[in-house]
Amino acid sequence: MDQHTDIYGVIGHPLTHSLSPIMQNAAFVEKGLNAIYLAFDTENVEDALKGMRALGLKGMSVTIPHKSSVIPLLDQVDDPAKQIGAVNTIVNDRGRLIGYNTDAFGALEALKEKTQVFGKTCLILGAGGAARAIGYILKKQGADLTLANRSRVRGEELANFLECPFIPLEKVADVQVDLLIQTTSVGMYPNNNESIVPSDALNPVTVVMDIVYNPIETKLLTTAKDLGCVTVNGLGMFIRQGAEQFKLWTGLEAPFETMRSVVEEALRKAE
Ligand code: ATR
């Protein structure tokens, strides 16, 4: 590192368990870039953005709770991120801060490793930011969506935005779909034994994706696998959204396998 080192980072709060620094720094090393990626744990997104501008930081990941509140602080936001209402990536383009959303792209790419999306019936569980991003991109790709959520108000609001039917969580067993996508935090460490889907709601022909990546295999995915379902874990989405960030920042293809293996290793150590 020297006076030319490019500085990147992630802003969010709390950032105790972020795996982005390990992943992005491994990518910089692999590509031989004079760059570093740091974790900036902050509750003050406005000051963080002023700092980014003043110090000329090259790029920033944005995570909970700043993905929406960062939008009015940027010079430009690309259209999908605007529609989704969440930015998870900032590019500093010679002083202009431009916002993107790579979460949606990451989820789609991870899913496409295992299945096509066009024309498929798809049940999304949850109505938070992740559900909105995934619903938005799957609709664009021609999937036939249904949304289920614990709270009806929030669920119906997102279903309206996605122009799709809403069903209460208790009715999940009544619908048969090609794809089931779990976007809530249920099953995330340390609640590894929880699952939002009763096992009788699963069908072997359904492809089941869980966006939780800690643990890598959630209870939902273990149950689905045992039944014979094709499964997609949350790690693929996490790595793909990070790889897309790397590409936006550097203009280079991301060293995907390196990124995957350092994150997998970190997660296995934590387990
Ligand atoms: P994110 O932006 O990361 O997606 P979020 O906005 O906090 O996170 O959304 C969390 C989602 O998980 C919501 O759909 C929430 O359901 P409610 O709208 O009913 O709150 C869902 N969720 C969280 N914990 C849950 C639980 N124990 N059971 C069912 N749904 C849960």
Average pLDDT of adjacent 10-residue blocks, the chain of 271 residues: 97 92 98 98 98 98 95 97 96 98 96 96 95 96 98 97 96 94 94 91 94 94 96 96 98 97 92 74
Domain membership of residue 83 as a residue range: 6-101+237-270
Q: Is residue 1 part of a domain?
A: no
162 in the same domain as 243: no
**C-alpha 227 to ligand 1 mean position (Å):** 26
pLDDT of residue 177: 95
Ligand 1 atom showing the smallest separation from residue 151 Cα: 19
Q: Whose CA is nearest to atom 4 of ligand 1?
A: 128
Ligand 1 atom showing the smallest separation from residue 150 Cα: 19
Which listed residue (58, 67, 120, 219) is catalytic?
67
Q: Is residue 156 part of a domain?
A: yes
Residue 227's identity, in one-letter code, is L
124 within 8 A of 131, measured Cβ to Cβ: yes
pLDDT of residue 270: 80
Q: What is the helix (H) or strand (E) element at residue 90, kind and residue range?
A: strand 89-93
Is residue 218 in contact with ligand 1, taking CB distance under 6 Å? no
**C-alpha 65 to ligand 1 mean position (Å):** 14
Catalytic: 247? no
**Number of domains, the chain:** 2
Q: Whose CA is nearest to atom 31 of ligand 1?
A: 184
- CA nearest 182: which of 229, 226, 141? 229
36 in the same domain as 80: yes
157 in the same domain as 137: yes
* Alpha-carbon torsion, ordered 191, 196, 198, 203, to 10 deg: -120
**C-alpha 184 to ligand 1 mean position (Å):** 5
Is residue 184 in contact with ligand 1, taking CB distance under 6 Å? yes
Which residues make Cβ contacts (< 8 Å) with residue 27, sequence separation at least 6? 242, 243, 246, 254, 255, 258, 259
Q: What's the CA gap between 198 and 192, in Å, rounded? A: 15
Q: Is residue 220 part of a domain?
A: yes
Q: What's the CA gap between 48 and 208, in Å, rounded? A: 38
pTM attached to this predicted model:
0.93
Is residue 85 in contact with ligand 1, taking CB distance under 6 Å? no
